[in-house]
Amino acid sequence: MMRQYELVERVAQYNGDVDEALLNRAYVYSMRKHGDQKRASGDPYFSHPLEVAAILTDMRLDDATIATALLHDVIEDTDATRAEIDQLFGPQIGKLVEGLTKISRLHLISQEDKQGENLRKLLLAVAEDVRVLLVKLADRLHNMRTLKWVPPHKRVRIAEETMDVYAPLAGRMGIQWMREELEHLAFKVLNPDDAAMIEKRLSDRREVVGDLLHEIQADIKSRLDESGIPATLSGREKRPYSIYVKMQRKHINFENLSDIYGFRVIVDDTLSCYKALGVIHTTFQSIPNRFKDYISTPKQNAYRSLHTTVIGPREQRVELQIRTREMHAVAEYGVAAHALHKDGANRSIRELAHDSKVYAWLRQTIEQLSDERNSKEFFTDTKLELFQDRVFCFTPRGKLIALPPGATPIDFAYQVHTQVGNTCTGCRINGHPKPLVTPLVSGDEVEILCQEGASPPSAWNALAVTGKARAAIRKANREANRRKFVRLGHELISNEAARRHLRDPLDLALAASTMGFADVEALAHAVGTSERPATAVLGALGHVVPEGMPADGWQQRNGHTVPIRGVGSDLPVHFSPIHAAIPGDGIVGIIDPGRGVTIYPVHAGEALSHFSAEPERWVDVSWDLEGLDDALFRVGIRVMANNEKGALAEIASVIAAQDANIDEVSMTAKYDKFSEMALNIEVHNCKHLESILERLRGLQIVLEATRIRH
Rounded Cα–Cα distance for residues 654 and 639 (Å): 13
Q: How many CB atoms lie within 10 A of CB 20?
A: 15
Rounded Cα–Cα distance for residues 626 and 623 (Å): 9
Burial of 413 (0-12, 13-18, 19+ CB in 10 A): buried
The side-by-side arrangement of strands in the sheet containing 446-450 is 432-434, 424-429, 446-450
Q: Do the Cβ atoms of 391 and 441 come closer than 8 Å?
A: yes
Max Cα distance, the chain (Å): 103
**φ/ψ (deg, to 5) at 261:** -110, 140
Identity of the residue numbered 649: A
User: Among candidates 376, 393, 373, 388, which has minimal Cα distance to 440?
Assistant: 393
Task: Measure CA 109 to chain center.
Answer: 21
User: Among candidates 223, 73, 191, which has minimal Cα distance to 138?
Assistant: 73
Beta-sheet pairing, 424-429 with 306-311? unpaired
Cα of first residue to Cα of last residue in the chain, in angstroms, is: 80
Rounded Cα–Cα distance for residues 234 and 87 (Å): 48
Torsion of CA 457, 463, 464, 470, to 10 degrees: 50
Rounded Cα–Cα distance for residues 335 and 519 (Å): 46
User: Among candidates 414, 467, 461, 412, which has minimal Cα distance to 441?
Assistant: 412
Beta-sheet pairing, 661-670 with 674-683? antiparallel
Q: Please report which helix (H) or strand (E) contains residue 15, including its range.
A: none
Q: Give the helix ranges, DSSP H, for 1-62.
A: 4-12, 20-34, 47-58
Q: How many CB atoms lie within 10 A of CB 216?
A: 22
Rounded Cα–Cα distance for residues 183 and 176 (Å): 11
User: Among candidates 187, 190, 317, which has minimal Cα distance to 243?
Assistant: 187
Rounded Cα–Cα distance for residues 72 and 53 (Å): 10
**φ/ψ (deg, to 5) at 308:** -150, 160
**φ/ψ (deg, to 5) at 653:** -65, -40
Q: What DSSP designation does 241 have?
A: H
- The CA-atom distances, in angstroms, between 57 and each of 3, 411, 452 are 14, 39, 53
Q: How many residues does the chain have?
A: 710
Q: Please report which helix (H) or strand (E) contains residue 446, including its range.
A: strand 446-450
Identity of the residue numbered 40: A
Q: Do the Cβ atoms of 419 and 398 come closer than 8 Å?
A: no
Residues designated catalytic: 76-77
Q: Please report which helix (H) or strand (E) contains residue 151, including its range.
A: none
**φ/ψ (deg, to 5) at 74:** -70, -35
Q: What DSSP designation does 38 have?
A: B
**φ/ψ (deg, to 5) at 661:** -110, 140
Rounded Cα–Cα distance for residues 66 and 87 (Å): 18
Beta-sheet pairing, 285-286 with 292-293? unpaired
- The CA-atom distances, in angstroms, between 629 and each of 387, 626, 654 are 47, 7, 21
